[in-house]
Amino acid sequence: MPKWKFKSYLCSMQNNFEQFGFNKQVLNAIDEIGYTDPTLIQQKAIPPIINGQDVLGIAQTGTGKTAAYLLPIIKKLNFAQEQIPRAVILAPTRELAMQIEENTIKLCQFTDLRVGSVYGGLGSKLQKEMLAKGIDILIATPGRLLELYLEGDLVFKKLQVLVLDEADKMLDMGFISKINRILEVIPKKRQNLLFSATMSDKVETLVGNFLLFPTKVEVSLQATPATNVEQKVYLVPNLKSKINLLYHFLLDEETFQKVIVFCKTKTIADNVYHYVSRKFGEDNVKVIHANKGQNTRINSMEAFKEGKVRVLVGTDVASRGIDVTEVSHVINFDVPLIYEDYVHRIGRTGRAEKLGVSITFCNESEALHLLKIEKLIRQKIPVFPIPEGVIMAETSFNEKQAIARAIDEHKRKEDPTFKGSFHEKKFKRPSADEKKKQAKLKEQKEQKSGKAVAKSKTKNSNTDKTKNTPRKKGKNWDKKIK
């Protein structure tokens, strides 16, 4: 691609969220979270929602549908006003309501908009207090919303936007009469948005009653990766082990000649970049993500294109459209959560009739997403054993907790009735006293085992089998995707 074309391509690509006319607060939040490009459903749904149309969105979890309706709502409401909600998002379960609330808070972090959620399963006192303080965006399950309305704690006079998220699940769970009752008591003049993973007869009837001349936007998770790409998966338990494995591959300069490493966040990309530049030299690696200035990104990309640097580390900003040929390997340091990004990512290799290799590092929580990707591309991606000598590190407390949370979150998305196997208690941080006790016990244990090791060392002084042993096979998660 000629240089001027390449530059204008990058210009058009990097401000992809700016095309929607979002204000600075929204753009800063998008940047802070690390979204670089709008997903397909966002590209399709955001413009009509901004135009004030009713929208029917057929999209599954994993497409970025939540931000697709939240971003225009935040743009519309702009700043805190009134005491009563101007946007209500209905969700089938309390878990989904909490997740949407979390997303909304992140996206509203640079605004003064007040966000809250109400759902059943616990007393309503705190929820009533929260409402009394004033609220702009309310996320709710239908039953609790109606209850609070009937008790006089909620007034809908100023409601401008109503969203039904996961409408198909709401109907499956028997919420139709509650939804109809809610529709009766809210202002008739409002914008309606309905999102559903599937389009059943029940959803169709609801669409007829709920939406006025809707614009239908649909994304089906369907994609086919290039056939000249060999795909591999390595099951790696944690970040440290991913780094070890990456290091192992990059040592083989002859095979890994031109490598793109994709990471899910800017922070991970920066950390990987610093590690690689420490180990292989600054001249060998560049990093690109949304925080890097335009010129830096252009220069990095061109240096990589021209073969001046061997490794390019980046977030998904680099995955779409850029025609860098002869990339020998794409390494997915993290499994992408937008499943189509997998196809975009691995499309960077195996271009122009060249055979390429895509390698995906996958931890226990990511394995669930990988199964979805396999379903999407209708292919099983073969799992390879960890190469001899690569050390699989212990997973830290914090990472264990994050992985357990991610697994629960994923399962909840799949099954709204899933209560979660992750309990805070299981991973509760020890108090200072408990820490002392644990340290003492550890010391005693170490003293004992020290003696034992000393004994066994004298017995087997020539063999240290603990060093460089490949990863021990853990629980069943790795078997599931094999």
Which spans of this chain sit near ligand AMP (rule: CB under 6 A)? 35, 37-39, 42, 61-67, 337-338
Angle between helices 364-377 and 339-346 (to 10 degrees): 80
Least distance to ligand AMP from the beta carbon of 186, Å?
24
* Single-letter amino acid, residue 322: I
* Residue 184 one-letter amino acid: E
Q: Which is nearer to ligand AMP, 103 or 215 (CB)?
A: 103
Q: How far apart are CA 100 and CA 139, in angstroms?
A: 7
Q: How many helices (H) and strands (E) does the chain have?
A: 18, 14
197 vs 272, beta carbon nearer ligand AMP: 197
Distance from C-alpha of 290 to C-alpha of 293, rounded to nearest angstrom: 8
Minimum distance from residue 134 beta carbon to ligand AMP (Å): 27
Phi, psi of 55 (to 5 degrees): -130, 135
- Rank residues 147 and 334 by Cβ distance to ligand AMP and give the closer one: 334
- HSE at residue 342, side-chain half, CA atoms within 13 A, is 33
Is residue 85 within 8 Å of residue 140, measured between CB atoms? no
Least distance CB 364 / ligand AMP (angstroms): 17
Distance in angstroms (rounded) separating the CA atoms of residues 18 and 71:
12
- List all residues 6 or more positions away from 436 whose beta carbon is below 8 Å from its beta carbon: none
* Residue 210 C-beta: closest distance to ligand AMP, Å: 21
Least distance between ligand AMP and beta carbon 203 (Å)? 18
Cβ 475 to ligand AMP, closest distance in Å? 24
- Give the separation between CA 419 and CA 26, rounded to whole angstroms: 33
Closer to ligand AMP by Cβ: residue 43 or 299? 43
CB 329 within 8 A of CB 256: yes
Cβ–Cβ < 8 Å for 32, 103: no
Nearer to ligand AMP, 310 or 348 (CB): 348
**Minimal distance, residue 232 CB to ligand AMP, in Å:** 24
Nearer to ligand AMP, 220 or 228 (CB): 220
Question: Shortest distance, CB of residue 301 to ligand AMP, whole angstroms?
Answer: 19
Nearer to ligand AMP, 63 or 358 (CB): 63
Question: How far, in Å, are 209, 215, 249 from residue 243 at the CA level?
Answer: 53, 46, 10
Pick the closer one to ligand AMP by CB: 266 or 348: 266
Q: Classify residue 185 by its DSSP letter.
A: H
Task: Please report how many Cα atoms fall inside a 13 Å half-sphere around the Cα of residue 308, on the Cβ side.
Answer: 9
Q: Say if CB 304 and CB 290 are below 8 A apart.
A: no
Residue 374 beta carbon to ligand AMP: minimum distance, rounded to whole angstroms: 18
User: Which of residues 44 and 65 has its CB atom nearest to ligand AMP in the complex?
Assistant: 65
Q: For residue 47, what is the enclosing H or E element?
A: helix 40-50
Among residues 179, 170, 123, 114, which one has the least CA distance to residue 151?
A: 123
Listed residue (307, 314, 272) closest to 292, CA to CA: 314
Between 62 and 214, CB nearer to ligand AMP: 62
Q: How far is the CB of 413 from ligand AMP (least distance, A)?
A: 7
- Residue 427: CB atoms within 10 A of its CB come to 14
Residues 6+ apart with CB under 8 A from 116: 101, 127, 130, 131, 135, 137, 138, 139
Nearer residue to ligand AMP within complex by CB, 96 or 390? 96
Minimal distance, residue 223 CB to ligand AMP, in Å: 16
